Structure 1
C-alpha cells in the first residue's frame, strides 16, 4: 500500500486479508491492557490532567517521578502469561502527551525524562520472551500539543497536528520489529476519518506492518470493535476493554481500591460473557510509577490462569454466539456437536441441573476438568443432569464446567416460557400480563 488509494479499495484490500491476519487474535480471547504514564505518578486518574485543568508546565513535573524499575515489563508479561493471556497492549503515549519511547518527534518522552529509558523497547522484548503478541496503544489526542484543539477549525493546525500523529505512529511501526496490534484511542476533536486523514495514516501503518490488526477508533471500521466498560457484543470481531476496578485505568492506591477490584470469579464471568459471543477480553492493570504490579491484581489473575490451565485452555477459540439461561446460575456455550455448561452456583439442594432448548439427542455428559461421567435424562422439554456431587466439582474457583456431547451439530431453539405453549398455555393468551 505504498500508493494511497480510496476508501473502498482500501477496505476491499484489508477485507481480503482480514481472516488470515485475525486468526491468532480470534483464538486468543484474553489479553492484558497496561496503562502507564505520568498519571501513574499522580495516582488519581489517567484523565486528571484535563479533568482537573492542570497547567501543562505543572503537570509536566510528574515526569521526574516517572521511574519504572528495570525488569518491570518482564513482570507484566510473566503475570499475563501466568493468567492465560495471549497478548498485551501498552499505552505508548496517552492523552497527556508523554511518549514511552525514544521519540525524535516528541522530545517529551521517557528517554529524556524520568526513567531515561525506552519503555516500549523493554515491553516489546518482554512480550517476545513470554511468547505474547505485541500491541501498541496510540492516542489520537495530545493535551500538550498547541494544535490539538484548534485543528478542528484551523486548516493549517489540522495539517500540522495530523502529520504529528502520523510521524509518531511511523516511529512505532518502524523501530520495534513486528507489531501485532495498533490500538488507537480518542479520535477527538475531529468528527470524521477525513479530518484525521485516517486513510493515509492507516495505509502508512499497513505499508510498514502488513500483518497488523487495527481497531475502530479512527472513524474507520478497520478490523475490530472496542466496546469499553461492558461485555456486550458489537456485531463483528470485537474486544471488551475493561478496567480492573471500574474507576480508573491508571494506578490507584491498592489498599483503597481493593474493595472495587475484580475477584477471580468476576474475571471468569467476563470471559464467559465474551466467549459466548465470539469476543475477546482486554483486561487492564495500572502499574505504579515504579512499574510494579498493583497488589490487588496479582492473585486474581494467577487463579484465573490456573483455572484456564486446569480446564485445558477451554476459553480459547471462537464459540457460537448462543446462550441458554435455565435457572439463573448456569449458562451454555456451543462448539460443533458439544455444549459447555458454565455453572456459576452449585445446585446443593437437589443436586440437579436442567437444560432446555436443545433438539439433539444427548450422548454423553461429563465434567470438563476430570472427564468424570454425569448421569442424565432427556425428554421433550429438557435435559436433566442428576445425582451430582454434594459439593462443587471445581474447588479452585467454584465455577464448574460440564461438557455435553450430542449426535450432531447442536440445534438450539431457545428456552423459557415463550417456547412452551403446551406446558404454559395461559402465557399465550396474555393472562400473564394481567397478573
Structure 2
C-alpha cells in the first residue's frame, strides 16, 4: 500500500486552508497541457551521468522560479494575451514600454540568497513568444526592443555572483510566432517552427556559459515526435553535458514537475508553486501565502523526497512585490537556524503525519517539525500523558531516542519514550520559534515515523465493553 500523503491532505492539517482555494484559477490556465508526462529516455549518456549531474540539485532542495515578461507591463498575470484575447499587433507594443531598471536581476539573486534558495530559474521565453535575450533568430527580443539589453545575460551573471545555480525556462508553445499554431496541421510551417525552436534553445545554451537547468514547458500543439524531442535533448546535452532537464518536452527528462501540488514520484521530482494566485505579476492579487505555509510546503516536499521551486512575479520595472520579499525573508531567517532539517535531510522519514507535526531526518537525527504549537491543554489536568506541560507527542517512532534539543537554540528538551509514543516534555507555553519550531531528536539508528504501526502494540484494556 502507498501511504504517501497528498498535499491537500497535509495542508488541511497544517494550515486549515483547502488546496483548491488557491490552486483552481492557475490550474485552469493549463488544463490542456499535461504537466507530468514522461516518455522513453533515448539518451544513454543522460542515464549514465544522471546521479552525478543531479547531486547538487538533490542537496539544494529549494529554488526560486521567476516569471517575467511583457505581461508584467499589464499586470494581469502571464496568460493575459490568450486569456483576454488581446490582438497580437497591439500586444507587441508592450515591448516598447518594457524597460526594467538596471540591477533588478541582482536584486532577485540577493533575495533568493536571503531566502535560502540555492538555484534560480528565469522564464527566458514564456508562451507570449518574447525572448529576453539577444536572439539572432527574431527581433522580438529585449536586446532589439524596449530595454535594448540582454536580460538573460544580466540574470545569469547576477545568479552566479551570488553562488546560485542557473536555470532557464523555455516554453515550446508560442502564441506570437506565425507558425506557432499552424505547425500542428501544416508540415512546412512545422518544419520552420521546429527549426526555429531548436535554434532558440541552441542560442540559450551556447552564449551564456554553464547553464545548470533547462526547464521546458508546454508541448502544445505538437507531439514529442513532431518536436523532434529526442534530437532536442541530444543537442542540449551536447552543448551542456552537466545540465539537467525536466519532463515537459514530452520525454522523461531528469525530473518530474508537479504543479500547485506535492505529488511524490518514484524518481526525482520538483513541486513548483506560486506565492499568490498567479505566476506572472498581478498588481491587485493580495492572496499571499504566509511564511508558515511556505515553510510547511517546503518541509512536505523534503519529507516526501522532492524539491520546492517557489515563484516570484516581478513587475515591469523588475521590482518584486513587497509581500513576496517579506515572506521570503521570513523563510530565509527560519532556514538560517533550522536549515539542517531541510538541506541535509532525506526523504521518507515518515509514512504518516501527526496532528501538528511533520518529519525529516538526516543520519540518526529525526527532525520533528511542529507547525501548530500544542500549548497547554485542559486535558493536562486529568491526563498524566500531557505533563509536565507542554508536551509534543509522536506515536510510532521506529528508533530509540538518545537526546533531544530545540534546533534553533540548542536548548535540551526532556523526553520519555515507550513502545508506542515519544513524548517531548516540559516545553514552553509559547512556541520558541516561528513560523515552525523544529526539535532535533538523536536516535540509536535511522529513525522512521508511522503512527499506524502502533496499533498491534497498543495495550488495550476493554474499558466500556460488556460480556
TM-score over 0.5 for the alignment? yes
Measure the CA separation in 2 of the matches of 1:8 and 1:198. 11
Q: Displacement, 1:417?
A: 8.3
2:235 aligned with 1:235: no
Measure the CA separation in 1 of the matches of 2:339 and 2:274. 26
Q: 1:81 to 1:147 in 2, by over 3 A?
A: same
Q: 1:301 to 1:8 in 2, by over 3 A?
A: closer
Measure the CA separation in 2 of the matches of 1:116 and 1:275. 41
**1:363-411, Cα deviation, whole Å (9 max, x unpaired):** 11111122211111111211111111222121xx241100111111225
2:254 aligned with 1:219: no
Partner of 1:257, secondary structure, is coil
Q: Give the alignment of 1:44-63 within 5 angstroms.
A: 44-63=76-95
Q: Displacement, 1:22?
A: 0.3
Among 286, 289, 305, the alignment partner of 2:316 is: 289
**1:269-317, Cα deviation, whole Å (9 max, x unpaired):** 1111111012111111110101111111011111111110122443113
Unaligned segments of structure 1, at least 5 residues: 1-6, 427-435
Partner of 1:404: 441
Q: 1:25 to 1:417 in 2, by over 3 A?
A: closer
Measure the CA separation in 2 of the matches of 1:8 and 1:279. 22
Partner of 2:422: 383
Among 237, 246, 250, the alignment partner of 1:206 is: 237
Q: Give the alignment of 1:406-425 within 5 angstroms.
A: 406-412=443-449, 414-416=450-452, 419-420=455-456, 422-423=458-459
Q: Give the alignment of 1:235-274 within 5 angstroms.
A: 235-245=266-276, 247-253=277-283, 256-258=284-286, 260-274=287-301
CA contact (8 A) 1:32 1:89 kept: yes
Which stretch of the first structure deviates more once superposed, 316-325 or 30-39? 316-325
Among 144, 159, 169, the alignment partner of 2:201 is: 169
Partner of 1:233, secondary structure, is coil
CA contact (8 A) 2:349 2:448 kept: no
Aligned length: 412
Q: Displacement, 1:334?
A: 2.4
Partner of 1:364: 403
Q: Give the alignment of 1:21-60 within 5 angstroms.
A: 21-60=53-92
CA contact (8 A) 1:32 1:87 kept: yes
Q: Displacement, 1:111?
A: 1.2
CA contact (8 A) 1:251 1:287 kept: yes
Q: Give the alignment of 1:281-360 within 5 angstroms.
A: 281-323=308-350, 325=352, 327-349=354-376, 350-360=389-399
After TM superposition, which residue ranges in structure 1, 4 or more long, deviate above 3 angstroms? 7-11, 324-327, 420-426
CA contact (8 A) 1:320 1:335 kept: no
Q: Displacement, 1:318?
A: 4.7
Unaligned segments of structure 2, at least 5 residues: 1-38, 377-388, 463-467
CA contact (8 A) 2:341 2:367 kept: no
Q: 1:325 to 1:392 in 2, by over 3 A?
A: farther
Q: 1:419 to 1:334 in 2, by over 3 A?
A: farther
TM-score for the superposition, normalised by structure 1:
0.91
Query: CA RMSD, aligned part only?
Result: 1.8
TM-score for the superposition, normalised by structure 2:
0.85
CA contact (8 A) 2:106 2:158 kept: yes
2:126 aligned with 1:98: no
Q: 1:72 to 1:337 in 2, by over 3 A?
A: same
Partner of 1:401, secondary structure, is strand
Among 1, 4, 15, the alignment partner of 2:47 is: 15
Which stretch of the first structure deviates more once superposed, 303-312 or 337-346? 303-312
